[in-house]
Amino acid sequence: MERARLRVYLGAAPGVGKTHAMLAEGHRRRDRGTDVVVGYVETHGRPRTEEMVGDLEVVPRREVAYRGTTQWEMDLDAIVKRAPTVVLVDELAHTNVPGSAHQKRWQDVEVLLEAGIAVITTVNVQHLESLNDVTEAITGVRQRETVPDAVVRAADQIELVDMSPQALRRRMAHGNIYQPEKVDAALSNYFREGNLTALRELALLWLADQVEEGLDRYRAQHDIDSTWAARERIVVAVSGGPESSTLMRRAARISARRSGGEWQALYVTRHDGLSGIAPERLSELRAKAEELGGTLHTVVGDDAADSVLTFARAENATQIILGASRRRRFSLMLRPGVGEQVIAGAREIDVHIVNHDYVRASRTTLAPRRDSIGRGRRIAGYLFAVLAPVAVSMVMWTSHNIDGLPTEAMALMAVVVATALIGGLLPAVLAALASGLLLNYFFTPPLYNWTISAPENITALLLFIVVGISVAVVVDRAARRSVQASRARAEADALTVLAHSLLTSSDDLTGLLGSACEVFGARGAAVLLRDETGTESVLAVVGQPIGQSEDADLSCEIDEQTTLVLRGSRLPAEQRGLLNAYAAYAKVMTERRAATSAEVERLRLAEADRTRTALLTAVSHDLRSPLAAVKAAVASLRSTEVTWSAQDEAELLATIEESADRLTALVINLLDMSRIYTGSVQATLAEVGVRAAVQDALAPMPDGARVRIEVPDDVGVRADPGLLDRVLANIVENALKYTPAEAAIEVDATTHAERTLIRIADNGPGVSDHRPLFAPFQRMGDVPAKDGVGLGLAVARGLTEAMSGTLVTEDTPGGGLTFVLDLPSADQENA
C-alpha cells in the first residue's frame, strides 16, 4: 500500500493556534467531500478550541488504567479499522501511557501513514530533538517529550503557525491559553517576550533550512546547476595575502545589507603546492572569517578559477568577490588572471572585483605559478610542434639571402625548446623531427627536395635532431622535477598544518574528517571501528554516510581495529603519504580519547573510593555516639543496683528512642547515598499532589508546625511518591535546623509551561557560598556532630535528579536560604 501524506503545523510556543489551524483544515477538507475524522485533539479546556471541533467525527479515545488512575489515549486500532482518508492527530511529540502499543505518538502516526491514512498533526519547535538543548538554554526548561527531526522533515508539507510575541502575550493575558491562576507565572517565566522572540526565530530558521533542503533536492533531481537566488549567498575567494581581510570585510558588509544573507570565504590549495601560505596564516584567516560572521573553506584544485566557480555553484552562491589582480599588466596580457577566468565562466553569478592597496604589488612570499602538464597543454604542445616549425621556416625562407644555415638551425632549435616547455617531451620530439626535415628541405642544398648533396650537411642535420631531442628530454625532466618538488612542498605544508593541530587542537575527529574531505576533495569521510567478529561500526563521520569499508573509494588502516575511509576521492600513489599522515593523526586522536576516558574512569573510581572512606569514617564516629547512648540507657534499666523512678525510666526510654531514630535516619541516608553513587536509584513516576506530599513529609517532625504551607490544592507533579517524601523531609529538616525557633518556614509552589517549582524558604542566617551545600559530608557553621554526617542535601539532590528534576538554592529576600525544587508538572501540555 502506498504511504499516505503527512502535514505538520509547526509552532514556536503553546497557544499560537496550531490545533485551531489543524481543525480548520479538517473542516475545509470535510466540506470538500473528504472523509475526515479526529483521532486525538487536546483542547486544554480552551473554549474556542472546543468550538472548533464542531461536528467533525471524533474517534473515541482508548481508556488505559495505569497505577490506579485512568488515562485516555488515541485509539490507534479503531482509527485503522475506521480507515478514513484523513485523520487529525494533535501533539505529535506526546509520550503514550506505559502499556500502549508504542512509546511515542509519532510512532502511532507512522503506522497510520503506512496504512494509507493521511495525517494532519501539530508540534512545537521546542519538542524537536535537535533543538532540545537550545530551547532549554533559552527558556530554562528541558522538554522531556521530543520527536526526531527526521520524522518532521519527512512530512510532505510543513506549515508554520506564526504569531508575534506581543500578540501571544496578549492572548495569554486574556486567559485564552492557560487558566487565570497560571497566567502571571507563565508571563513572568516561560512566556517572557525575549523567550518568545528567540523561539520564534528558531522556528523560522529551522523551517527555512527545511525549505532550503527541499530546493536543493529539486535542483539535484532536475539536474539544475544554475544559481537560484532564493537567498543571498556570497563566496569570497582569498589568496592568503594581506588583502584577504579587506575582501572578507567587504563580503560581510554586502551580506549584512540583506536579511538572511550569508557569506563564505574560500581558499584554494593547489596540488603543486605553490600557494605558499603558512598554517598560522590559514588559522588567522579562519578566525577572521568567524569574527566577521562567515566561515572559511579550503578546497584542492589545479585551476583556481574553476575551483572557485565549482564551489560557488555547489553552494548556490549569488555573488563572488575577488581581489584585483596583483600581477603586472604584461603578465595579464600573456595569460588571463583568475578574475578574468571567473568572470568568463560565472554566467548568472555576479562577480565583484574589489580594489585594494596591494594591486600589482610583487608577492615575494609566493613562488611563481607553474601549471603541470595536463591534457590541454599536451594538445597545445602537439599543435605548436606542427605549426611553429612551418611558420618559422616560412619566415626564415623569405630572408634566406640574409640568414645563413646556422641562424636558421638555431631558430628552429628555439622552437623545439619552446615546444618542450609547452607540451613536454613527446611534442618536443615531434618538433625536432619536423624542424630537421624542414631545415633539410628549405635550407640545405639541393633546395626544395629531400636529398642532401654534402656529407657534412647530413651530419649537421642528424646532430640537430639529436641535440633537439636531448634538449627536449632535459627540459621535460626539469619541468617534471619542478612539479614533483612543488607537490612535495604542498604535502609538507599539509603535514605542518596537521602537526600544528596535533599540538593545539582538541580530540575532534569530526573536524579532522572535515579537513580530509576538503584537502582530498572527498564527498564523505569516516573512522570505522572493527570488532572481533569483523563487524564495523562508525566512530565518526562527516558528509556522505559511510557504514562499511566496502562503501568507500579510499581507505587507510589506522590500527588493527580502526580504518580511515573516504568516499568520492581518487588519489595518485604519490599522495598516499599525506593520507597516511591523516590516518596517523586520527590514531593519535583515538588514543587521546581512550586516555581521556581512562582518566575519567580513574577519577570516578577515586571519587567512589573517597566516598567509601568517608562512609567508613562516618560509620566509625557518628554511629558510635547513638549506640553508646542506647547501650548506656539499656544497661541502666537492666541494673538491679539502682531503683529508677517512673520519670527516670521514661527519660531513659526516650533516650533509647531518640538514638534509635538517629541511627535509622543515618543508615537510610548512607544507603541512599550508596545507591545514588552506584546509579541504582529507580524512580517510578506518578501524579502526586504537592500539598499532600508536603503535609505527609511534615507529619513525623516535632517542629512541623513551624512550616507554613502556601500550596494550592490543584498543583501536582510527576514524581516518585516515596522519593519525593524523602527529598522534602531532608530539605525541611535542614531548614528547621538552621532557622531560629521563632521564625517560620514557608513552602509554596507555582506551575508554568510543563514544570512545577516548589520553593522551601527559611529566614535563617543563610550562606555566602552555595556550592558546597550539596556535597556529601558537609556541615555548615557550628552544627554539632551529633546532628548528622552532612548527607541530607546530597541525598535530596541525587533523588531529585533520579526523578528528572533539579534542586538548586537561592538567597531568600531579607535573609535566609531558599531551596527550589523543579519537577515535571502532572498536567504537562504539548500544544
Q: What is the pLDDT of residues 80-120, one digit of tens each?
A: 999 999 999 999 999 888 888 888 999 999 999 999 999 99
Q: Which tops the pLDDT comparison, 750 or 583?
A: 750
% of the chain at pLDDT higher than 70:
78
Over 80: is that where the pLDDT of 359 sits?
no
**pLDDT in the model for residue 830:** 40
Pick from 396, 465, 404, 397: nearest CA to 436:
465
Q: pLDDT-derived band of residue 57, with 50, 70 and 90 as boundaries?
A: very high
Q: Which of 62-76, 123-137, 614-628 has the lowest mean pLDDT?
A: 614-628
Q: Which tops the pLDDT comparison, 504 or 800?
A: 800
% of the chain at pLDDT higher than 90:
12
Is 728 in a helix, a strand, or coil?
helix
Give the list of residues 6+ apart from residue 41 with CB closer than 8 angstroms, or none.
Answer: 19, 22, 23, 49, 53, 58, 88, 90
Burial class of residue 403 (count of CB atoms within 10 Å of its CB; 0-12, 13-18, 19+): middle
Cα of 722 vs its chain's centroid, Å? 39
Question: 657 — phi, psi (to 5°)?
Answer: -65, -45
Q: Which tops the pLDDT comparison, 525 or 452?
A: 525
**pLDDT in the model for residue 362:** 40
Is the Cα dihedral 374, 376, 382, 386 positive or negative? negative
Over 60: is that where the pLDDT of 667 sits?
yes
Over 90: is that where the pLDDT of 7 sits?
yes
Question: What are the Cα distances from residue 269, in Å, to 113, 279, 568, 748?
Answer: 49, 12, 18, 64
Residue 617: count other Cβ atoms within 10 Å of its Cβ: 12
Q: Which tops the pLDDT comparison, 209 or 510?
A: 510
Pick from 431, 441, 442: nearest CA to 465:
431
Is 761 in a helix, a strand, or coil?
strand
**pLDDT in the model for residue 438:** 80
Query: Which own/partner contact pairs does 473-476 have at CB distance under 8 Å and 24+ positions apart?
Result: 473/425, 475/417, 475/420, 475/421, 475/428, 476/420, 476/424, 476/425, 476/428
- What is the pLDDT averaged over residues 404-420? 78
**pLDDT in the model for residue 440:** 72
486-512 pLDDT, tens digit per residue, is: 666 666 666 666 665 555 555 667 777
- What is the pLDDT averaged over residues 408-432? 80
Q: Which of 113-117, 478-482, 781-785 has the lowest mean pLDDT?
A: 781-785
Over 50: is that where the pLDDT of 786 sits?
no
Cell of 335: 595569460
Cα–Cα–Cα angle for 71, 75, 77, rounded to 5 degrees: 145
Q: Which of 37-41, 263-267, 701-705 has the lowest mean pLDDT?
A: 701-705
- What is the pLDDT averaged over residues 208-218? 61
pTM over 0.75: no
